[in-house]
Amino acid sequence: MLLVIFSGSRKGRIIFLNGASSSGKSSIAVQLLSVLDTPYFNMGVDVINGLRAKERTLELGEDEIREVLVHTRAGFHRAVAGMAHAGNDVVVDHVLSEPWRLIDCLAVMSGLDVVLVGVYCDLEELRRRENARGDREIGQAERQLAKVHAHGLYDVECDTGVLSSRACALRIKDFLARPAGTRAFDRLRERAVAAGTLGPDQLGVK
Ligand SMILES: Nc1ncnc2c1ncn2[C@@H]1O[C@H](COP(=O)(O)OP(=O)(O)OP(=O)(O)O)[C@@H](O)[C@H]1O
Ligand SMILES: [Mg+2]
């Protein structure tokens, strides 16, 4: 019997939105899907979290939920890389508030075109949004803000305290129309390999 498996050569692009909670990542992702000329997927970490059995998750203790969240995030990174390797363009919405999350993404998204977008918003506005939303732990955005941009390198930056989600999406679209240069993700990966944080044998989806 002849077995035929998928073997397309196209690799998708990843637009990676990183910012603190309430900075406006998911809102930009929605606008990007509308303004981009080709059909992108919207894969947010909150969407992946929402796929897990809610009642069983609520029964978990503190250590157990921590463990589950590590597996969820690691699975999310690999799911995104898998989609792009199968030729799909993806908008990723994530919070890089722990160093391992970025290192893991640099490893599993190796060989893919990743456009890293810094989503900024001033603390006062973040606090206002957090309070208005009412479904987020108060202070979460402030804690994340101190860590989430620590790597200090982006391809594009947006300030949602100043720009609408639509304007941010259009700025990202403009960036994509420019000739491709070295991406922030590639520089960060080189930096991590040089520092020994990432071994050359750890690159690619494992
Ligand atoms: N550019 C903007 N201007 C004004 N308000 C905004 C803007 N972007 C988002 N908001 C508002 O901020 C809140 C949070 O937005 P959003 O859900 O997109 O943030 P997020 O970064 O995805 O947050 P989380 O990490 O918690 O999922 C929403 O109430 C949204 O309406
Ligand atoms: Mg979100």
All structural domains of the chain = 13-198 (3.40.50.300)
Global confidence as pTM: 0.95
User: Ligand 1 center to residue 82 CA distance, Å?
Assistant: 27
Examine the pLDDT at 195 and tell me if it is beyond 90.
yes
How deeply is 5 buried, as exposed, middle or buried, from its count of CB atoms within 10 A (0-12, 13-18, 19+)?
exposed
Q: What does the mean pLDDT of the chain come to?
A: 94
Rounded to the nearest 5 degrees, what angle is found at the Cα of 140, between the Cα atoms of 18 and 58?
A: 100
Strand partners, 43: 92
Judge contact between 89 and 12, C-beta under 8 A: yes
User: Ligand 1 center to residue 173 CA distance, Å?
Assistant: 19
Examine the pLDDT at 206 and tell me if it is beyond 80.
no
Structure tokens at 65: 């939920």
User: Ligand 1 center to residue 133 CA distance, Å?
Assistant: 9
Give per-residue pLDDT as tens, 58-93: 999 999 999 999 999 999 999 999 999 999 999 999
Distance CA(172)–CA(28), nearest Å, equals 10
Nearest CA to ligand 1 atom 10: 24
Structure tokens at 19: 């910012």
* Any ligand 1 atom below 6 A from CB of 71: no
Judge contact between 51 and 2, C-beta under 8 A: no
CB count in 10 Å sphere of residue 197: 16
* Any ligand 1 atom below 6 A from CB of 144: no
Closest atom of ligand 1 relative to the 19 alpha carbon = 21
